[in-house]
A and B are shown apart, each in its own frame.
Chain A
Amino acid sequence: MSVAAEPSMTGDETAEFPAPLEDPRPALRAMVHTVRMYVVRDIDEFRRFRGVIGNLVSQELHVRYQRSMLGFLWTLVNPALMMSTQALVFSRLFRGIGGMGPWEYAVFLFSGAMPWTFLASSLTECTTSLIHQEGLIRKIYVPKWIFPLARVLIQGITFSLSLVALFVMLWPLGAKVSSSLLGLPIAMALLGIFTMGLGLIAATVHTFFRDFGHFLGVGLQAWYFLTPIIYRSDFLPADERWKFWLNPAYPFVRLFQILIHESSWPPAWLFLLCGFIGCATFSAGYLVFKSQERKIVFRL
C-alpha cells in the first residue's frame, strides 16, 4: 500500500519534523501529496476516535437533557415561541406576503428558520469548541477536528428532533405530510457538510483571534436578514431576485422551504447546487483547519 509510511498513533509511528509532507515547494504535486496524506490519516483517526466522538456527543446530550425530557421540550419552546411571535407580527406587518395567511406563513417561516437555527447555532458552538476543550487538548493526543465535528453532530441531532416535534405542532395548522418529506435527510446531510466546512473555519479563526465570536454574532444576524427566511424572495422585484443566489446559504434554505412549505420535490439542479456549495465549503474549511491544526495546541 502506498500509505505505508503514514504514521498511526496507537500503532507504530514514525514522523519527521518539519513534516516532509509540507514540502514548501509550490509544486502542485507536493500539495496534492500533502492533502492526500492528511485525508488518509484523518480517515484512520476517524476510525480510531469514533468512540471519543460518540462519547463527546452522548455526554453533551446527556448533560443537556439529563434532568428530564423537559430539558428537550424546553429547547423547543424557545424557537416555537419565537416563530409564532414572528408569524403573527410579520403576517400583519407585511400583509399578505405572497398572499400567505398567518398559518401558512408560520409553516413557511418554520421551514426556513429551522435549518437556519441549525447553521447559526452550530457555527456559534464550533467557534468555542476548541478553547473549551483546552484541558483535553493540552493533556492527551486527540485529533482536534473531532471537537467541531461533535458540535455539529449534537446540533444535527437537536435539529432533527425539533424538526419532528415542531412539525407535529404545525400539522393542525396546515403543514402537509407528503412524500417530499423523505428528501429532508438528504437536505440535512448537505447542509451538515456546508456547516461543518464553515465550522472548521470558525473554530480555527477563533483560536487565533479571540474576538472572532463577536464578529460572528453580528455577521450571523445580518446574514439571517439577508436570506429570504422571514420574507419570500418575491420581496424583491423580479429582475433583482437573482441576487439572492449570491448568498451561499440561500440554496439550502430554499431546499427546506420547497420540501416542507411547498410539499414538493426540489429540482435536481438545486440538490446539485447545494452539493457543490457544500463540498467546496467543506474542502476550504478542511484545508484551513489542517494548515493550522498543529499550531492550535500552542495557542490555547
Chain B
Amino acid sequence: MPTSNLQTNADAADSPARGDVRIDAREPKLHGPVVRHIAEFPAAGRSRDEAVVRLQNIGLKFTSYHDSHPSLKRALLNLVLRRSAPATNKTFWALQGIDLTIRQGERVALVGTNGAGKSTLLKVIARIYEPTVGRLTTRGRIAPMIEMGAGFHPELTGRRNIQLNGALMGMSRAEMTAREPAIWDWTGLAEFADLPLKYYSSGMFQRLAFAIATEVEPEILLVDESLNAGDASFVDKAKRRILDVFDKAKAVIVVSHDLGIVSELCTRTVWLDHGRIVADGPTPEILDRYVRAVTGG
C-alpha cells in the first residue's frame, strides 16, 4: 500500500547519491527530498542569486467569454449550418509587464485597490493560473493560503482531511502523520479528530485550516486576506503562529487591505494598480505614497 511506497521514497531521498544529483539548480526535483537539500544549498553557487521568486515581464490575459458555457448543441448546429459563432469574447490584461524579484528572507506586501490584480498575481506565483507571457521562476515548496481550506472534504473526518491537505501541499503520508499531533495540539480540537468536517463550526474549521497551512513549513508562503478572521483569541494566536512561520519561510508574500498588518509584518511593499506595478520599495515609504494617492486623490 502507499505507506510502503512512501517509505521507500523517503529512504531513498536520504541517500547521498540522490541528494548529490540535486545540487544542480536546474535538475528536476521531487518534493520531500528537495526541501531538505535546498536548505543546504547556499554553497552550491547560489549565494550570488538568492532570488526565491522571480517574475520577468509577466502578463496575464483573461478572456471574458460572451457565453461562459457554450453548448455543444449550438456549436454543432453552427458547424452544420455553416454559421459562424458570435465571437464577442472580450479580453483584458489582468497583469501586465510584471517584473518582480523576491529574495531570500523578504516579506513582501501587495497593496492596491479592488481589482488591481493582487489575487491574480498570487495565483500566478502559485501556478494556479498560467501566465500568458513572461518568465516565472520559483524555488521551494509553495503554500498558497489564498483561500483557506482549499482541499477540504466535508464528509471526511478532521484526521483524513489533514492527510488530504498534506498530500496537496506535497507532504508524504508519514511526514503528515508525524505533524498531526502538533496540529491537534495547536487547534485544541483533538476530541473532534474523528468527526466529519461538516459538523465543525466555522471557527473550528478555520482553526484547522490555518493550522494545517502553517504546519507544513512552506518555503514560499502566499497569504491572501486570511489573517483577519476568527474570534479574538484565535486572531491573536494566529498572528503569533504566522510570525513563527514567517521566520522559517524563505519568502512571504501577503495581500492585505489592512495596512496595519502590512506595516507590522512586511519589510517591502509592492503597489499594484490595473495590473501594473506602480511602486515597489520599503514598506513605510510605499504605504505613505499609496495612502496619499488613495485618500488625497
A residues contacting B by CB (< 8 A) are 1, 3-18, 40, 44, 47-52, 54-55, 59, 62-63, 66, 135-142, 205, 208-212, 215, 294, 297-299
Contacts and interface: CB of A to CB of B under 8 A. Distances in A.
Contact of B128 (A11, A51, A138, A208): A138
B132 interface: yes
Nearest to B144: A140
Contacts of B65: 299
A140 B31 contact: no
A209 B75 CA distance: 9
Interface stretch (B103-111, B147-155, B251-259, B261-269): B147-155
A210 B68 CA distance: 10
Nearest to A47: B30
Can you list the 9 inter-chain pairs with the closest CB atoms, starting with the nearest? A11-B29, A139-B150, A51-B167, A209-B72, A11-B34, A14-B137, A210-B69, A10-B31, A141-B127
A294 B138 CA distance: 18
Interface residues of B, number: 63
B2 A10 contact: no
Given A51-B166, A298-B62, 9 more contacts: A3-B28, A9-B142, A16-B134, A47-B30, A55-B167, A62-B156, A140-B151, A209-B70, A215-B73
Given A10-B31, A139-B150, A205-B72, A55 B163 contact: yes
B24 interface: yes
22 contacts: A8-B34, A10-B31, A12-B26, A12-B138, A13-B127, A17-B130, A17-B132, A17-B134, A44-B30, A49-B167, A52-B167, A52-B168, A55-B160, A62-B156, A63-B153, A140-B126, A209-B70, A209-B71, A210-B69, A215-B73, A297-B130, A298-B62
Given A4-B26, A139-B147, A50 B5 contact: yes
Contacts of A3: 28
Contact of A48 (B5, B31, B38, B138): B31
